[in-house]
């Protein structure tokens, strides 16, 4: 048995060297951004594995779309049409309110402008990456102009933000991650607070709410929270969650408030990436057009809507 005696460095030597190397790598990765590029390359190499995970789901969708019964498709189509109609109706109202809001703001000489956000749908490649954190991997990356810190939403509310971008995929930190903090506001009275993740799947902690202000009813069970836009990372006014419980503890400086995130964080297969301030320069011209032109088009807008019907 030659191989038993004739091998390179012994396992002990190897483990010592590789152990030290791992520790050095971890330190570098934590303290500096040198390894960002290495990780990006490796993540491209590993992309097939991530894609293979969603492939069965995609195949199932394709199969059911192609070989599903005709009546099911017709039914689905009718339902979507109905939904589209009602959404359009709300949008009409929204347009109306938006112009009104802009007019009122101009009367007040306030410069805040409601901008049109660019949206891109991304698919979730993997969730539950690491049991100690709350993160997702999505199938859009630097190639699709995703940037670090980009807000990620779903149909119900804010999901989190992009924390790591590689060419084909990126990692989203959910609002429930213990590392995540989000400036929010109570819709009812504008009370500002910060929604921190707790590492639990479906809970947010609201911090720095003084006991007496909670006692006065500045925050009560059932209050709706939206992003406040402070900090500049997230656009304001997107739903974040609902207050679940308020505990007044005299021994603590602040009230213990918990909220339920409104986005279905662990059940989504698709998420929305939004660009509020168009980041890539070449897209800027295209996007800037909309908010500028919108008010001018507005008066004829309803006529145009009415014509086809």
Partner 1 sequence: MALERHHNGWIILLTFIAGLLLTIIPIPIWAMSWRPEWIIMILTYWCLALPQRVGVVTGWSLGILQDVLSDTLLGQHALTLSLIAYVSVISHTRVRTFPLWQQSVGMGLLVVGNQILHVWIHGMLGHPPTSWTFLYPALTSVVLWPWIFIILRDLRRTYHVC
- Residues at the interface with partner 1 (CB under 8 A): 3-4, 7, 11-12, 14-15, 18-19, 21-26, 28-30, 35, 38-39, 42-43, 46, 49-50, 52-53, 124-133, 135, 137, 163-164, 171, 178-179, 198-201, 266
- Least distance to partner 1, CB of residue 164, Å: 6
- Least distance to partner 1, CB of residue 116, Å: 32
Write a three-state SS string for 243-309: EEEEECCCCCCECEEEEEECCCCCCCCEEEEEECCCCCHHHHHHHHHHHHHHHHHHHHHHHHHHCCC
Quote the CA–CA distance of 127 and 271 in Å, as a whole number.
12
Toward partner 1, which CB reaches closer, 37 or 290? 37
205 in Cβ contact with 196 (< 8 Å)? yes
Structure-block tokens of residue 90 = 């709300």
Structure-block tokens of residue 282 = 């070449």
- Least distance to partner 1, CB of residue 28, Å: 8
Toward partner 1, which CB reaches closer, 76 or 264? 264
- Least distance to partner 1, CB of residue 161, Å: 14
- Least distance to partner 1, CB of residue 160, Å: 13
Toward partner 1, which CB reaches closer, 178 or 295? 178
287 in Cβ contact with 118 (< 8 Å)? yes
Toward partner 1, which CB reaches closer, 163 or 279? 163
């Amino acid at each position: 048995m030659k191989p038993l005696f004739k091998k390179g460095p012994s396992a002990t030597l190897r483990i010592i060297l590789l152990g030290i190397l791992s520790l050095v790598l971890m330190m570098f990765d934590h303290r500096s951004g040198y390894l960002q590029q290495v990780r990006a390359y490796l993540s491209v190499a590993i992309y097939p594995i991530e894609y293979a995970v969603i492939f069965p789901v995609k195949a199932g969708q394709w199969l059911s779309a192609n070989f599903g019964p005709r009546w099911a498709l017709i039914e689905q189509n009718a339902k979507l049409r109905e939904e589209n109609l009602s959404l359009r109706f709300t949008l009409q109202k929204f347009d109306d309110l938006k112009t009104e809001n802009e007019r009122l703001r101009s009367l007040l000489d306030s410069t805040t402008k409601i901008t049109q956000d660019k949206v891109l749908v991304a698919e979730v490649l993997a969730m539950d990456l690491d049991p100690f954190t709350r993160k997702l991997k999505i199938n859009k990356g630097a190639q699709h102009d995703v940037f670090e810190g980009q807000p990620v939403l779903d149909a119900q509310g804010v999901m989190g933000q992009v924390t790591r971008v590689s060419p084909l995929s990126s990692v989203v930190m959910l609002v429930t991650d213990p590392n995540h903090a989000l400036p929010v506001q109570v819709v009812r009275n504008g009370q500002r607070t910060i929604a921190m993740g707790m590492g639990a799947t479906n809970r947010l902690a609201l911090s720095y709410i003084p006991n007496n202000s909670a006692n006065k009813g500045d925050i009560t069970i059932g209050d709706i929270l939206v992003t406040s836009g402070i900090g500049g990372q997230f656009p304001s006014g997107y739903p974040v969650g609902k207050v679940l419980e308020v505990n007044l503890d005299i021994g603590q400086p602040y009230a213990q408030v918990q909220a339920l995130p409104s986005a279905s964080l662990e059940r989504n297969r698709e998420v929305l990436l939004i660009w509020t301030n168009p980041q890539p320069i070449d897209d800027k011209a295209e996007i800037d057009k909309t908010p500028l032109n919108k008010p001018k088009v507005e008066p004829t807008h309803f006529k145009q809507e009415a014509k086809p019907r």
